[in-house]
Structure 1
Amino acid sequence: MNATIRFASLLLGTTLLSLPAYADEVDCSGSMGAVSIDGDIRVPSGRTCTLNGTRVDGNVRVARAATLLARDVKVEGNIQAEGARQVSLLGGSYVGGNVQLEQGSSVKVDTAEVDGDIQLFSNSGAVHVNRNRVDGNLQCKSNQHPITGGGNRVRGNKEDQCAGL
């Protein structure tokens, strides 16, 4: 093996080691940075998960009374929460499926790209939806407070409480 091929092999091996991959379902309590998850992430009840630059090949599920803070993430599947304390999807994040946040408290979706729908139903806290690109529908219904935000580009429909966003 010549020196160029050995160097390339070493460089490739180093690159793979710097971005570890995790498989199946991973419980997140704490922070994850620029890692790749080959499966799903679950935020357990009452816990907080911070994702920063994380890549997820599956779904992100947020349990009751849990918190998800996600910035610059790439999720190939869905982000789903029912009864969450807080969900924030921020800063250039991408979701290949849907964002479905129901019966929780605080919700913030800002500067995200979503290939499916954003559905925000029956949340009791502040809901902010701003500067997102949505290939499906933007649906907001039965939230307790007025929805704030604007500048959302939606290919489908802007419905109910999100009609003016």
Structure 2
Amino acid sequence: MKIRTFIATASLVASGSLVAFSGSAQAALYTTCVGDGGAVTVTNDLVVPAGKSCTLTGTRVKGTVTVEAGADLVAAGATFNGAVNVEENAYLDLTDTTVKGTLTTDSAFGAHLEKSNLKQVDATQGFVYVVDSTLGGNVSTGAGELYVSGSTLSGSLTGDGNQYSDVYDTTVKGALTVNGNTLGGVFCASEVYGAAKYSGNADNLQLGGESLIGSCAGASYFGGNLAVTDNTANAVLDNAIVRGGLTATGNDPVLVVGELARIRGGVTGETAAAGSSSARSARGAAPLDRGVGLAEKADARAAAARADAHEAGTSRL
């Protein structure tokens, strides 16, 4: 890997890509990564330069990690003690990796997080694809694609203005908010312990059950109140327990409640029973599981990044 450490003058510190270190000179220090890197410790910030690719295996970074515009970072078995920032059209792929700071993406191509441990995710545009991971804080996404499977979130999960927000076989210990998604969302075989709200969504909303978007064999659990309001989506609630109350107002078509739905609190608003004329009219076209498309997109970008990094070469570090 072509990995270089820079001591920058004070004029370069203003760029924001450097971090100060202790010492009488009070200079700034960062490391660039282009190519393949192994099990070493980077004691300062790490930067993947714009348009370049970096792969890390077993690497530890004590400072901030920045993936600049159009760059790619693919890491396995790594530990990042600080924040990770992913810039415009950049890509982040993490497997068996720990991020102790906040992961922030801004107009990125996307982030694929698998079998990893993260603190908090704040994403704007691009996809966030989370598989078999543990997240210790809040996850907030906007104007992108959100797909979470087989994971545990200690905080809240928010999908605001996304194309879709899909949750499979996942536990959310905080609140769940899905607002203004143009292709709706799925909540399948999952649990949420805070309040859950689906508002202003279009296309399809599948909250448990076997219909609309895809098969969902497992039951779902809403530990607090569930609000499904002001949606133009075809919306179905089935094979789920709602511990609190259900609010279903302003939906067109009305929310369909299947025979396997159990609502412990009261119901406010209008619902339709499965099998009714309103329920039949709410049935829309059923697209494939959207995780398949995201996996293909992530795999293609990661493969290209690995090839570019390998071509750039390795380093003794």
Q: Alpha-carbon deviation of 1:140?
A: 1.6
2:102 maps to what in 1? 98
Q: Which amino acid aligns with 1:107?
A: A
1:61-114 per-position Cα deviation (integer Å, ceiling 9, x unaligned): 010011111111101001111114321111x21111111122011321111111
Q: Where does structure 1 lack aligned partners over 5 or more consecutive residues?
A: 1-21
1:23-71 per-position Cα deviation (integer Å, ceiling 9, x unaligned): 9310001011001000110000010011111001111101001111111
Counterparts of 2:155 and 2:128, CA distance in 1 = 20
Identity %: 24
TM-score (norm 2): 0.41
Report how many residues are paired: 138
Q: Alpha-carbon deviation of 1:159?
A: 1.1
1:54 maps to what in 2? 59
2:124 is the counterpart of 1:121: yes
Counterparts of 1:108 and 1:30, CA distance in 2 = 19
SS at match of 1:83: coil
SS at match of 2:69: coil
2:155 is the counterpart of 1:150: no
1:112 maps to what in 2? 116
SS at match of 1:28: strand
2:78 is the counterpart of 1:87: no
RMSD between aligned residues: 1.9
Counterparts of 1:163 and 1:155, CA distance in 2 = 17
TM-score (norm 1): 0.76
SS at match of 2:101: coil
Asked if structure 2 preserves the Cα contact closer than 8 Å seen for 1:138 and 1:159, the reply is yes
Counterparts of 1:132 and 1:95, CA distance in 2 = 11
Asked if structure 1 preserves the Cα contact closer than 8 Å seen for 2:148 and 2:167, the reply is no
SS at match of 1:80: strand
SS at match of 2:112: strand
1:71 maps to what in 2? 76
Q: Where does structure 2 lack aligned partners over 5 or more consecutive residues?
A: 7-28, 169-317
Runs of 4+ in 1 over 3 A off after TM superposition: none
Counterparts of 1:73 and 1:159, CA distance in 2 = 27
Q: Which amino acid aligns with 1:148?
A: Y
Matches within 5 A, 1:13-24: 24=29
2:35 is the counterpart of 1:34: no
2:253 maps to what in 1? none
Counterparts of 1:39 and 1:53, CA distance in 2 = 16
2:138 maps to what in 1? 137
Specify whether residues 93 and 152 from structure 1 end up closer, same or farther in structure 2 by C-alpha distance, changes over 3 A only: same
1:11 maps to what in 2? none
Counterparts of 1:117 and 1:149, CA distance in 2 = 14
Q: Which amino acid aligns with 1:68?
A: L
Asked if structure 1 preserves the Cα contact closer than 8 Å seen for 2:30 and 2:45, the reply is yes
SS at match of 1:41: strand
Q: Alpha-carbon deviation of 1:163?
A: 6.9
Q: Which amino acid aligns with 2:142?
A: K
Asked if structure 2 preserves the Cα contact closer than 8 Å seen for 1:62 and 1:84, the reply is no
